[in-house]
C-alpha cells in the first residue's frame, strides 16, 4: 500500500473515495463543505441527513456519488473539538480505510484537520490507523477470505512533505504486525525453536546482535526458576537476547523483557476446559511485543541501545513436570516454593530480570500476559503498570498517550508481600486471590535490585474478540507502539 502527502485541495482531488472528517455537532454544510457538496450535487448533505451522522468519534458513513471525479464520499467522526487527540486521527483513518476496502476503492484520499499544528504527528497517526486496520492474517487459511481488491493508494490531503513521518509510521506498524502474527499463530507453529529462528532472522535482516542461551547455558547461570517451568516440555527452552546498538555512543541503554510461554497448560495445576486453555498460545504476548519492538527500533535507528530479552519455553505436564510444593532456586540465589504451577510466567521472568540487570542498563521494562486478576481489575482494553520509580513510569505513560495505548498505574502495596511468604523458602510464587496482580508484581520486584524498572501486565489488551477501531478481531500487537516511542524519547 502506497501513502502520499499532497497539497491537492479536496475540491480538485479525483479518485475512488474521499474521506472527510467532521466534528461532533458541527456537521452543518457551510464554507468549504458547501462548495464540496455543490460539486457533488448535494450528495454530502444527503448522506449526513440520511445516515443521521452526528460526527461522534469512530462513527462513519459512505455513499456513492453520481458521475464525476469522485466515486464514493465517506464521512468520519472526530468527536468534540476540545477532546481532539492523536488517537482520534487513528480511529478516523481506520474507519475510512475499512469503508474504502468494503466499497472496493483502490485509491482513497483522507482529509482531516492538522493536530496541534503538527503535520508530522498527524500524518503518522493517519498512516498507523490505515495500516493497522487493513492488516489481514490469512496464513492458516486454505483459501484466503480477503480475495477482493484492496486499497492500493492513500493520499493525505494537506500533508505534503511528510514522507519521513509516513515512513516512520509504516516501520512502526511493521513491528506491530509482527507481534500480531506471533500471538495469533498456534502453539504448534510458534514454539521455542521457531522463536529462536525468528530472532535469528531479525538479527540477520536488521543488524541486531544475538545471543541464544541453550538449556546447558541456563544451568550454568543457575536459572532454576526458568528451567523448572521448562522441564516437562519436549521442546528445549531458548533464552533469547537481541541487542540493537546505534552508531556512536548511545544516549542511554534500555531493556525490554517479554514473557515467552509459547503454550501454557497450567502444568500439574492443569487448566480445566472452559478456563481459556485453548487460547494459551497467547501467553507469549510479552515476547511477541518485544520482538515487534525490536523490528521497529532496528529500522528506525534511534540513538539509544536497546536489549530485548525473552526466556522462551512451554509449561507442560508429564513425568518431568515441576510439582506443587517444589522449591526452585533462581539465578540470584532466592528460593521459591511453587504453590501453583500455573503461575509460571513470573518464574521465567525472575531469571530473565536477574540476567537483564547484569547488563548495566539505565531502565528495564518487562511485559507479560501475567494475571487474570489484572483483566478483572482493568478490563480488556487497559494494561496495568507498576513501578517504584516515578520518573520512568511517567516517561512510559507519556509514550503510551502519544501511541494511543491505555495503561493505568497500579499500586505497589509492599505489605501485600506477606501473602507470598513461605514456611520453607524465601517466597511462594502466588499469594492470596485478592490483589493477585499486585502480589505478582511484588514477586517480580524481588529480582530487580537497583535499576529503574516497570512491570506491564498486558493480559487484557493483547487480544480482541471483535473488530475494534484499528484492531481487527484477534491479536492486537499491543505495547509495541508505546515501547518504541519510549525508546525514541
Q: Indicate if 71 belongs to the active site.
A: no
For residue 133, the tally of other CB atoms under 10 A from its CB is 23
- For residue 5, report the phi and psi dihedrals to the nearest 5 degrees: -85, 140
Residues near 441 by beta carbon (within 8 Å), at least 6 away in sequence: 386, 410, 412, 455, 457
| Cα gap 59→99, rounded to integer Å | 11
Instruction: Determine the Cα–Cα distance for residues 144 and 406; give it in Å rounded to an integer.
Output: 32
126, 112 Cβ separation under 8 angstroms: yes
Residues counted in the chain: 489
* Alpha helices, DSSP H, located in 74-162: 86-102, 119-134
Q: Which of 277, 266, 199 is nearest to 239 (CA)?
A: 199
Closest CA to 195 of 204, 182, 211, 213: 182
Catalytic residue among 71, 72, 101, 346: 346
* Residue 54 CB contacts under 8 Å (≥ 6 apart), including other chains: 24, 25, 27, 77
Q: Is residue 271 annotated as part of the catalytic site, yes or no?
A: yes
**What is d(CA 443, CA 427) in angstroms, rounded to the nearest whole number?**
8
248: cell is 556512536
Residue tagged active-site, from 271, 398, 406, 468? 271
Q: Which of 232, 233, 178, 187 is nearest to 206 (CA)?
A: 178
Maximum Cα interatomic distance, the chain, rounded to a whole number of Å: 81
Rounded Cα–Cα distance for residues 155 and 116 (Å) = 20
Active site residues: 271, 346
Amino acid at each position: 500500500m502506497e501513502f502520499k502527502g499532497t497539497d491537492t485541495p479536496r475540491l480538485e482531488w479525483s479518485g475512488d473515495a474521499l474521506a472527510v472528517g467532521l466534528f461532533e455537532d458541527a456537521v452543518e454544510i457551510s464554507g468549504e463543505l458547501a462548495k464540496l457538496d455543490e460539486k457533488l450535487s448535494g450528495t454530502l448533505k444527503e448522506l449526513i441527513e440520511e445516515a443521521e451522522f452526528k460526527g461522534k468519534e469512530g462513527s462513519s458513513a459512505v455513499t456513492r456519488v453520481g458521475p464525476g471525479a469522485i466515486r464514493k464520499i465517506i464521512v468520519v467522526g472526530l468527536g468534540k473539538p476540545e477532546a481532539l487527540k492523536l488517537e482520534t486521527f487513528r480511529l478516523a483513518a481506520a474507519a475510512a480505510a475499512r469503508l474504502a476496502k468494503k466499497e472496493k476503492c483502490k485509491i482513497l484520499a483522507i482529509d482531516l484537520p492538522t493536530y496541534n499544528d503538527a503535520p508530522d504527528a498527524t500524518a503518522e497517526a493517519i498512516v498507523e490507523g490505515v495500516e493497522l486496520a487493513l492488516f489481514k492474517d490469512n496464513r492458516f487459511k486454505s483459501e484466503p477470505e480477503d480475495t477482493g481488491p484492496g486499497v492500493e493508494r492513500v493520499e493525505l490531503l494537506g500533508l505534503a512533505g511528510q514522507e519521513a513521518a509516513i515512513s516512520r509510521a509504516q516501520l512502526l506498524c511493521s513491528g506491530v504486525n509482527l507481534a500480531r502474527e506471533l500471538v495469533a499463530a498456534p502453539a504448534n507453529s510458534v514454539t521455542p525453536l521457531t522463536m529462536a529462528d525468528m530472532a535469528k532472522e531479525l538479527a540477520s535482516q536488521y543488524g541486531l546482535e544475538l545471543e541464544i542461551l541453550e538449556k546447558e547455558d541456563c544451568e550454568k547461570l543457575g536459572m532454576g526458576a526458568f528451567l523448572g517451568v521448562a522441564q516437562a516440555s519436549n521442546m528445549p527452552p531458548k533464552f533469547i537476547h537481541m541487542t540493537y546498538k546505534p552508531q556512536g555512543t548511545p544516549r542511554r541503554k534500555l531493556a525490554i523483557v517479554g514473557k515467552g510461554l509459547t503454550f501454557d497448560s497450567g502444568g500439574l495445576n492443569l487448566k480445566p476446559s472452559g478456563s481459556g486453555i485453548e487460547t494459551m498460545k497467547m501467553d507469549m504476548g510479552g515476547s511477541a511485543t518485544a520482538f515487534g519492538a525490536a523490528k521497529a527500533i532496528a529500522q528506525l535507528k534511534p540513538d539509544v541501545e536497546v536489549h530485548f530479552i525473552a526466556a522462551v519455553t512451554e509449561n507442560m505436564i508429564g513425568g518431568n513436570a515441576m510439582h506443587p510444593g517444589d522449591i526452585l532456586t533462581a539465578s540470584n540465589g532466592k528460593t521459591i516454593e511453587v504453590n501453583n504451577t500455573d503461575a509460571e510466567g513470573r518464574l521465567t521472568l525472575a531469571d530473565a530480570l536477574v540476567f537483564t540487570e547484569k547488563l548495566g542498563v539505565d531502565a528495564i521494562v518487562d511485559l507479560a500476559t501475567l494475571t487474570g486478576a489484572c483483566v478483572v481489575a482493568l478490563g480488556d482494553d487497559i494494561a496495568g503498570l507498576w513501578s517504584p520509580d516515578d520518573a520512568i513510569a511517567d516517561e512510559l505513560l507519556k509514550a503510551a498517550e502519544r501511541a494511543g495505548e491505555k495503561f493505568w498505574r497500579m499500586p505497589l502495596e509492599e505489605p501485600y508481600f506477606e501473602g507470598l511468604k513461605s514456611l520453607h523458602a524465601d517466597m511462594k510464587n502466588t499469594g492470596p486471590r485478592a490483589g493477585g496482580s499486585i502480589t505478582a508484581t511484588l514477586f517480580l520486584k524481588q529480582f530487580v535490585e537497583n535499576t529503574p524498572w516497570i512491570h506491564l501486565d498486558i493480559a487484557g489488551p493483547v487480544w480482541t474478540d471483535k473488530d475494534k477501531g484499528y484492531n481487527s478481531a484477534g491479536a492486537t500487537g499491543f505495547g509495541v507502539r508505546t515501547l518504541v516511542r519510549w525508546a525514541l524519547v
